[in-house]
């Protein structure tokens, strides 16, 4: 038959099939006069058309018949006779066999259908070679191997009768330490394999059997991978042809088919999870493989402790898991989740390291593993959301750098509040410039502000209600970001949501709840609500101390947070010991060096505000050395340290030295962030300040205007950083006698703070104070006075009555009254200010001098010569003692 004939047959077939039976033959005979053979041909087809045939039943029955073949090719394998089938896996069938001469039993594995492909035969042989080289009491032993006459390969190995690890533990209601010891034995076997360059690749409880005598055997190296050498190939080994067991497979194994020792470590982590929690981390039972892969790659598991609690609640069982205290659970969570971290780089590097931590746990020692930092989690979140977050790759890089950097430096935003405690106007300006607004990581130019990015993040976090733990984490992180962005209301909403969520998940007392309390406390700190801040942070700290080991980094961080709140409220004598304690904890072996550097920076700042410049200086030098080791020479942290060192030089009046530090910092920052970045703007501002102090106003003004331009473009017109730049420009203008410019600058500054802080923040007071200074220079004393009265009223609302700023404000108010010759009123204000300032451990000399001068003059004018004399004497002795320390 040829194609044309077949075409003709088909046409006839379709036509004939439509006809009634008896009309077909006449029809065909008519049409096939030239080729009578066609008639029978077509009629036979029509006949077949009506009958059932093989194709109708689908392939399944045929496949079942052909593939579901339990027959062994022979009963005898060398000296062994098979007695029954034990099971079949992807690679072969395993039979139980008896060795007739010795009466011993063994397992025989044969490769059925070995003909199917050379690759299969090769893998079967590889398993055999693997077993041959692994001799370990916890690995089933290879006895013998050969090939049948028909080419079927087989090998004999130790028969292990036992229960899968998890079933054994459930049946014997093993305690957590018992479970961990069994798990450790499994780790030892895996470690042995790794030492012989073998990756198991299919670790799961059913491959880890516990025998009656309690000993353990690791089985099934069927898809094990032989590494070629000790190091390089560990990373890029493809999983190959066989089905993994998805529940225990690592994300990279499922997604990219990569396998290395790290995939085994992940699988061990899942086995441990199941042992601890009584459940697998993910329920994949109803998922397609693609869904399962997505879950494994993207979903964060519940902590084992939370899962165990949930299981216990549902079943009323899990006596073993309830015997573990909360602190111990926290360690088990870290241990287990480190082993099964989604990022291979963040898992235990070796099985030994995993075993060491198991030992540490069993011995009650601190673990070597550390939970993920916020920095890591935020970075990951940003990476995961890069698609929706940014349009262009360059933009993206900027955003990631910014957001990550910005979370890195939680230290900085809080320092905004530090300004409040500043002793002198110079320190105020310094703090405003240096720290105001935090590192909020402005958005890439005009196109996409970070706020937008974070808004989308928050939006997305709200959809994650199926994963409350992750959601709480994200709420917390994003809340922190909003806080740095100055969106306090949104920060508040999210941080509260995180706290509520965690209380629901974990109960009233839990390390995560403590972390949330502290985060909320730090928000209050940023809002200058210090009572509330201190209460929240103290609660969080106490909870952390109750729930965690003293060496836990979270305890140290909580202690540092308390130090910071105390610092921000001006209680340096209390802040310094708290920060010293945090630094001590972080200096212990295993402490986080980056945390330590941050704490020491804070400690240096506390000393700075307390006027201990030498102490601050030596701490800053220490931090500079640490940061250079941690981050390299040209990292922004190093630049910050240089700026802090410059600040001390500035206070000492060594302006050229300050300028050198500030220039070095500017250079690093400009290289790191580029010329148009807000960080660069900040550094420009600080350098400008050093220039102003050397009366180089024109130079300074150029830098400050550059800074302002950058900040307005990046942050928009209403932002703390813009306000801070305006403050500096205003001051330069005032020094140059450009009073209109100065007035405009300070006005805008005040307006910005009013808008940002709902008309209630000490920073508004600082702006108005400066504005009042301009009026004063213009001899508009009544206006100046009215402003200062407003400032005093504002401070009274938000600050402690004996706060330094209040002292300064009343002295300034006194000065405006003096200038109006209202000596009686002036004396009242100046004295009140003077008394407040005298309570400070390091009173700002300039304002003390102003107070004394004014008081002496006022008492003269009101005929109180004794009082006047007293303040004059003080003026003389103060200037003798202080030397050149004041300007």
**Interface residues toward other proteins, by CB under 8 A:** 1-3, 6-7, 9-10, 13-14, 17, 44-46, 48-49, 51, 53-55, 57-75, 82, 84-85, 88-91, 113, 115-120, 148-150, 238, 240-243, 254-257, 288-290, 293
Provide, rounded to whole angstroms, the least separation between the CB of residue 484 and other proteins: 39
Q: Which of 331, 283, 282, 329 is nearest to 309 (CA)?
A: 329
Provide, rounded to whole angstroms, the least separation between the CB of residue 289 and other proteins: 4
Choose between 67 and 393: whose C-beta lies nearer to other proteins: 67
Provide, rounded to whole angstroms, the least separation between the CB of residue 115 and other proteins: 6
- Residue environment code for 307-322, b if the CB has 16+ CB neighbours within 10 A, otherwise e: bbbbbbeeeeebebbe
Choose between 48 and 235: whose C-beta lies nearer to other proteins: 48
Q: Which two tokens stand for residue 83?
A: 């007695």
Long-range CB contact pairs, 339-342, < 8 A, 24+:
339/265, 339/266, 339/268, 339/269, 339/272, 340/250, 340/266, 340/269, 340/270, 340/272, 340/273, 340/281, 340/301, 341/266, 341/269, 341/372, 342/251, 342/297, 342/298, 342/300
Provide, rounded to whole angstroms, the least separation between the CB of residue 362 and other proteins: 38
Choose between 8 and 660: whose C-beta lies nearer to other proteins: 8
What does the alpha-carbon distance between residue 182 and residue 211 come to, in Å, rounded to a whole number? 11
Q: Which DSSP symbol is given to 420? A: G
Provide, rounded to whole angstroms, the least separation between the CB of residue 221 and other proteins: 17
Phi, psi of 732 (to 5 degrees): -60, -45
> Could you give the C-alpha distances from 38 to 3, 18, 19, 43, 268, in angstroms and in order?
14, 17, 17, 8, 69
Choose between 77 and 361: whose C-beta lies nearer to other proteins: 77
Choose between 64 and 760: whose C-beta lies nearer to other proteins: 64
Provide, rounded to whole angstroms, the least separation between the CB of residue 396 and other proteins: 23
Evaluate whether 344 touches 260 at the Cβ level (below 8 Å). Answer: yes
SS3 assignment for 155-219: EEEECCCEEEHHHHHHHCCCCHHHHHHHHHHHHHHHHHHHHCCEECCCCCHHHEEEECCCCEEEC
Q: Which value, in Å, is the radius of gyration of the alpha carbons in the chain?
A: 39
Provide, rounded to whole angstroms, the least separation between the CB of residue 92 and other proteins: 10
Provide, rounded to whole angstroms, the least separation between the CB of residue 150 and other proteins: 5
Provide, rounded to whole angstroms, the least separation between the CB of residue 534 and other proteins: 54
Provide, rounded to whole angstroms, the least separation between the CB of residue 293 and other proteins: 7
Q: Which two tokens stand for residue 367?
A: 């673990």
Choose between 288 and 363: whose C-beta lies nearer to other proteins: 288
What does the alpha-carbon distance between residue 85 and residue 93 come to, in Å, rounded to a whole number? 8
Choose between 92 and 844: whose C-beta lies nearer to other proteins: 92
Provide, rounded to whole angstroms, the least separation between the CB of residue 43 and other proteins: 11
Provide, rounded to whole angstroms, the least separation between the CB of residue 102 and other proteins: 22
> Could you give the C-alpha distances from 608 to 280, 604, 618, 647, 886, in angstroms and in order?
53, 6, 11, 9, 16
Provide, rounded to whole angstroms, the least separation between the CB of residue 149 and other proteins: 6
Q: Which two tokens stand for residue 561?
A: 């947070």
Choose between 6 and 161: whose C-beta lies nearer to other proteins: 6
Choose between 289 and 717: whose C-beta lies nearer to other proteins: 289
- Work out the widest C-alpha separation in the chain, in whole angstroms: 146
The residue written with tokens 């304690």 in the block is 581
Choose between 256 and 362: whose C-beta lies nearer to other proteins: 256
Evaluate whether 413 touches 482 at the Cβ level (below 8 Å). Answer: no
Instruction: Please provide the DSSP assignment of 429-497 as one string.
Output: HHHHHHHTTTT----STTT--HHHHHHHHHHHHHT-TT-HHHHHHHHHHHHHHHHHHT-HHHHHHHHHH
Choose between 148 and 861: whose C-beta lies nearer to other proteins: 148
Evaluate whether 476 touches 512 at the Cβ level (below 8 Å). Answer: no
The SS3 call for residue 154 is: strand
Q: Which of 129, 141, 264, 290 is nearest to 204 (CA)?
A: 264
Choose between 184 and 255: whose C-beta lies nearer to other proteins: 255
Q: Which DSSP symbol is given to 139? A: B
Provide, rounded to whole angstroms, the least separation between the CB of residue 208 and other proteins: 20
What does the alpha-carbon distance between residue 265 and residue 187 come to, in Å, rounded to a whole number? 9
Choose between 102 and 149: whose C-beta lies nearer to other proteins: 149
Choose between 266 and 762: whose C-beta lies nearer to other proteins: 266
Q: Which two tokens stand for residue 591?
A: 């402490």
Neighbours of 576 (CB within 10 A): 20
């Amino acid at each position: 038959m040829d194609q044309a004939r077949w075409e003709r047959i088909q046409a006839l077939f379709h036509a004939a099939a439509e006809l009634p039976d008896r009309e077909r033959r006449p029809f065909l005979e008519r049409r096939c006069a030239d080729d009578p053979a066609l008639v029978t041909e077509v009629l036979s087809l029509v006949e077949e058309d009506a009958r059932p045939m093989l194709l109708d039943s689908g392939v399944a029955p045929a496949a079942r018949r052909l593939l579901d073949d339990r027959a062994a090719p022979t009963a005898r394998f060398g000296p062994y006779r098979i007695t029954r089938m034990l099971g079949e896996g992807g690679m072969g069938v395993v039979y139980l066999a008896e060795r007739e001469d010795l009466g011993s039993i063994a397992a025989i594995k044969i490769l059925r259908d070995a003909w199917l492909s050379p690759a299969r035969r090769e893998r079967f042989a590889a398993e055999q070679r693997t077993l041959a080289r692994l001799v370990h009491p916890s690995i089933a032993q290879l006895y013998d191997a050969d090939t049948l006459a028909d080419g079927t390969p087989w090998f004999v190995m130790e028969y292990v009768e036992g229960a899968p690890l998890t079933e054994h533990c459930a049946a014997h209601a093993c305690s957590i330490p018992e479970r961990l010891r069994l798990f450790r034995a499994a780790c030892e076997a895996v470690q042995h394999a790794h030492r012989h360059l073998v990756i198991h690749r299919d670790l799961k409880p059913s491959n880890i059997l516990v025998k009656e005598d309690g000993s353990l055997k690791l089985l099934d190296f069927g898809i094990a991978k032989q590494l070629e050498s000790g190091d390089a190939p560990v990373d890029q080994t493809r999983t190959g042809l066989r089905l993994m067991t998805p529940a225990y497979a690592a994300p990279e194994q499922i997604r990219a088919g990569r396998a290395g020792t790290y995939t085994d470590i992940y699988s061990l982590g899942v086995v441990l999870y199941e042992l601890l929690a009584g459940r697998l981390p993910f329920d994949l039972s109803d998922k397609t493989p693609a869904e399962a892969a997505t879950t494994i790659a993207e979903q964060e598991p519940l902590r084992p402790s939370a899962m165990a609690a949930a299981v216990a609640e549902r079943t009323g069982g899990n006596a073993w898991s309830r015997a573990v205290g909360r602190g111990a659970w926290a360690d088990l969570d870290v241990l287990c989740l480190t082993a099964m971290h989604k990022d291979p780089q963040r898992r235990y590097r070796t099985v030994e390291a995993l075993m060491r931590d198991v030992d540490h746990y069993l011995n009650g020692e601190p673990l070597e593993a550390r939970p993920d930092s916020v920095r890591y989690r935020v970075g990951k979140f940003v990476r995961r959301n890069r698609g929706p977050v940014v349009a262009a790759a360059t933009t993206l890089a900027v955003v990631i750098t910014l957001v990550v950097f910005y979370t890195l430096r939680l230290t900085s935003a809080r320092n905004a509040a530090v300004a409040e405690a500043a002793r002198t106007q110079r320190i105020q300006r310094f703090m405003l410039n240096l720290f105001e607004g935090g590192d909020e990581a402005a958005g890439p130019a005009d196109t996409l502000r970070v706020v937008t990015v974070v808004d989308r993040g928050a939006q997305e976090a709200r959809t994650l209600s199926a994963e409350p733990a992750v959601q709480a984490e994200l709420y917390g992180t994003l809340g922190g970001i909003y806080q740095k962005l100055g969106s306090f209301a949104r920060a508040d909403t999210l941080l509260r949501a995180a706290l509520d969520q965690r209380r629901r998940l974990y109960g009233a007392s839990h390390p995560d709840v403590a972390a949330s309390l502290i985060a909320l406390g730090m928000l209050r700190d940023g809002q200058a609500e210090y009572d509330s801040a201190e209460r929240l942070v103290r609660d969080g700290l106490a909870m952390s101390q109750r729930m965690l080991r003293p060496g836990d980094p979270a305890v140290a961080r909580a202690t540092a947070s308390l130090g910071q709140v105390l610092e921000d409220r001006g209680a340096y004598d209390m802040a310094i010991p708290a920060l010293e304690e945090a630094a001590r904890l972080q200096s212990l072996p295993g402490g986080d060096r980056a945390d330590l550097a941050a704490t020491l920076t804070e400690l240096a700042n506390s000393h700075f505000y307390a006027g201990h410049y030498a102490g601050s200086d030596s701490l800053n030098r220490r931090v500079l050395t640490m940061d250079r080791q941690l981050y390299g020479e040209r990292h922004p942290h190093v630049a910050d340290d240089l700026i802090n060192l410059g600040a001390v030089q500035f206070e000492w009046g060594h302006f050229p030295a300050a300028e050198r530090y500030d220039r070095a910092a500017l250079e690093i920052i400009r290289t790191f962030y580029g010329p148009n970045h807000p960080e660069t703007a900040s550094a420009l501002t600080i350098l400008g300040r050093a220039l102003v102090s050397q009366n180089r106003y024109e130079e300074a003004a150029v830098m400050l205007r550059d800074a302002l331009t950058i900040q307005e473009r990046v942050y928009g017109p209403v932002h703390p950083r813009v306000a801070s730049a305006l403050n500096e420009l205003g001051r330069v203008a005032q020094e140059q006698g450009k009073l209109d410019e100065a007035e405009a600058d300070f006005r805008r500054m005040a307006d910005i703070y009013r808008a940002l802080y709902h008309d209630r923040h000490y920073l508004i007071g600082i702006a108005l104070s400066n504005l009042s200074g301009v009026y004063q220079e213009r001899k508009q004393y009544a206006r100046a006075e009215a402003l200062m009265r407003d400032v005093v009223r504002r401070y009274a609302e938000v600050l402690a009555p004996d706060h330094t700023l209040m002292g300064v404000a009343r002295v300034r108010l006194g000065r405006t009254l003096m200038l109006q010759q209202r000596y009686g009123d002036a004396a009242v204000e100046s004295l009140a200010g003077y008394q407040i300032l005298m309570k400070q451990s390091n009173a700002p000399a300039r304002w003390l001098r102003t107070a004394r001068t004014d008081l002496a003059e006022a008492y003269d004018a009101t005929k109180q010569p004794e009082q006047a004399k007293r303040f004059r004497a003080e003026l003389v002795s103060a200037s003798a003692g202080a030397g050149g320390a004041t300007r």
